[in-house]
Amino acid sequence: MIRYALTRLALLVLGLFVASALIFTTLRILPGDIAQLIAGVNSTPEQLADIRERLGLDRPLPVQYGDWIGGILSGDLGSSQLTGTPVVSELLQKAEVTVPLGILAFVVALLVALPFGVLAAVRRHRPDGVAVSVGAQALAAVPVVWAGMMLVVVFAVTLGWLPAQGFPRAGWSDPAAAFRALVLPAVTIGVVEGAVLLRFVRSATLQAMGQDFVRTAAAKGLTRTQALLRHGLPSVGLSVITVLGVQVAGIMVGAVVIEQLFSLPGIGRMLVEDTGNRDLVKVQGELLVLTGLVLIIGFVVDLVHRVLDPRQREAE
C-alpha cells in the first residue's frame, strides 16, 4: 500500500508540473496585451515598454516560468498585474463562495444519484424504474445554463422562494441569506451532474445484482432487495467511488458557468473576468489551483478505492 501511495503521489506531482507548463504556455499564446490595457489606447511605445519592464514581461518566457514555479514552491502564486493584490488572498476570498457551492452541489448530486440509481436498477422493468432512467438520460443532456434559467423562472420569478442572483455583501456573517443565495446554483449543478452519476449507479447496481454472492443470499431466504442492500451495495459503492473524481471536475466546470449566470462572486466568475483583462498571473494561478484540486481529489479517490477494495489489496 505504501509503495502504491508513493507511486500515485509521484504521478500527482508530475501531473501538477505538466499542468503548470501547459497553463503557462497556453496563456502566452492568447491574443491581447495587458500593458496596452493598463496604459490605454493613447499610450506611446515608450510607455508600453516601461510597463512591460515593470511587470517583467520583457524577460524570456523560461525565466518567467521559473520565477512563477519558484514562487509556488514557497506558497506564493504571485500578484495581480492590474491591482497588485496577492493571488492567494483573492483566491481565499472567492473560495468562501465557490467551495460551499461545490459542496452543496456535490451533496445534491449524491442525493439524486444514489437512491434513484438503485431504484432504476431494482425496478428496471417497472414503469417507475423506466421513467427514472429516461428522466436521467434527459437531464444529463440538459445544458447547465438552460437548467439554471428554468429554475430561476420557476423558483425565483414565479414562486419567489429564492433569490434569482447575487450574494449578500455581508457574506457568511448572514448564514441564512448566504445559504439561500447558493441553493438554486447548487441545485442546478447538482441535478445535472447527479443525472450523469445516476447512470453509473444504475449500471453498478445491475452488475451487483448479478453477482453470485447476491443470488446466494437471495436463495437463503432474503428478498432480492434485502440481498442487494446487505451484500450488493458495498460493491456499488466501490464502483461509484471510481467516477467521483470525474464528477468533481464536472461540478467545478459547472461552477464557472453558474457563477456567471447567478452573479456569484466566486473563483469561476473571477477567472472569466481575469481572462478578459489579460491578468495572466492571476489566471494561471487560478487555473493551477483548480487543476491541482481535481488531481488531488483523483489521488485521494485512488487511495480510498485501494483501501476499500479487497481485490486490490490481495493483488499486492
Q: Is 85 left (phi over 0), alpha (psi -120 to 50) or beta?
A: beta
Per-residue pLDDT, 39: 65
Per-residue pLDDT, 228: 66
Per-residue pLDDT, 184: 92
Name the more confident of 208 and 176: 176
The answer to whether the beta carbons of residues 145 and 261 sit under 8 Å apart is: yes
Cβ within 8 Å of residue 282, ≥6 positions away? 78, 80, 81, 87, 90, 270, 274
Cβ within 8 Å of residue 28, ≥6 positions away? 61, 280
Segments in the chain forming alpha helices (H):
2-29, 34-39, 45-55, 61-73, 87-122, 127-140, 144-151, 175-209, 212-219, 224-227, 233-261, 267-276, 280-308, 310-314
d(CA 18, CA 82): 27
Handedness of CA 29, 35, 37, 41 (dihedral sign): negative
Average pLDDT value for residue range 188-208: 85
d(CA 290, CA 276): 18
Per-residue pLDDT, 118: 83
Q: What is the pLDDT of residues 41-77, one digit of tens each?
A: 666 777 777 777 777 777 788 888 888 888 888 888 8
Q: Is the pLDDT of residue 313 over 60?
A: no
Q: Which domains does the chain have, with CATH numbers?
A: 87-314 (1.10.3720.10)
Nearest 10 degrees: CA dihedral of 296, 179, 85, 291? 20
**DSSP, res 159:** S
Q: For residue 18, what pLDDT band results from cuts at 50, 70 and 90?
A: very high
d(CA 202, CA 115): 10
- CA end-to-end span of the chain, whole Å? 8
Residue 134 CB neighbours (<10 A): 11
Q: Is the pLDDT of residue 119 over 60?
A: yes
d(CA 128, CA 59): 64
Per-residue pLDDT, 311: 58
Distances (CA, A) of 17 to 91, 190, 283: 20, 31, 16
C-alpha cell at position 230:
446487505
Q: What is the pLDDT of residues 259-312, one digit of tens each?
A: 888 989 988 888 888 888 788 888 888 889 888 888 888 888 878 777 766 555
The answer to whether the beta carbons of residues 295 and 13 sit under 8 Å apart is: no
Type of residue found at 17:
F
**Out of 68-82, 151-165, 229-243, 283-297, which region has the weakest mean confidence (pLDDT)?**
229-243
